[in-house]
Amino acid sequence: MFPLSHRALAVLSAVLAAGLAACSPRSAEAPAASASASVSMPAETMAASVPPAVAPVQAKKLGKDQAIGVLMDLPELKVWSDRIEKNSKGQSHGALIEFDATPFEHKGKTYYQFSFVENTPEAVQRWENFLIAPDDGEILIEDQISGELLSLARWRKEKQPLQRIP
């Protein structure tokens, strides 16, 4: 297989975004918008440590690229990205894609919608869906079984995401 360029990843992500939106338990709540995608490549290696319980409050509104940066700075996503790349010997990568360009409304608040995916040469596997509020940086994670939205602290406590990859 050959490595994909950033542009090819963006195109692939856009195509996959439409399919991922249909897989979300929330997909019945809001129709999927046109498939647009944002791609972020893995951050540098970070040792697993106890992460803060909440995302830092933002002084100004987050753009989508800034929201991706906030999410990719989460210790869990850094560790996942690093381990995916190491375990695959550089053949697979962790990435964030916007799975629906339409902002999601929850309890009077608007959120950007992203999926963390494992991008392999053969396929893309979704790991988690994340919502991030542009106004204050609040992060919610969608429980893949129940569709319930979990706070970052609850997700960390109940799902123990740093244990996801041995």
The pLDDT tens digits for 43-81 are 433 344 445 555 555 568 999 999 999 999 999 999 999
| Rg of the Cα atoms in the chain | 15
Average pLDDT over residues 33-48: 39
According to DSSP, the residues that pair with 139 across neighbouring strands are 132
Task: Name residue 61's amino acid.
Answer: K
Give the pLDDT of residue 60.
86
Give the pLDDT of residue 9.
41
3-state secondary structure of 40: coil
Per-residue pLDDT for 32 more than 70? no
According to DSSP, the residues that pair with 131 across neighbouring strands are 113, 140
The pTM (predicted TM-score) of the whole model is 0.67
More confident: 55 or 143? 143
Give the pLDDT of residue 4.
39
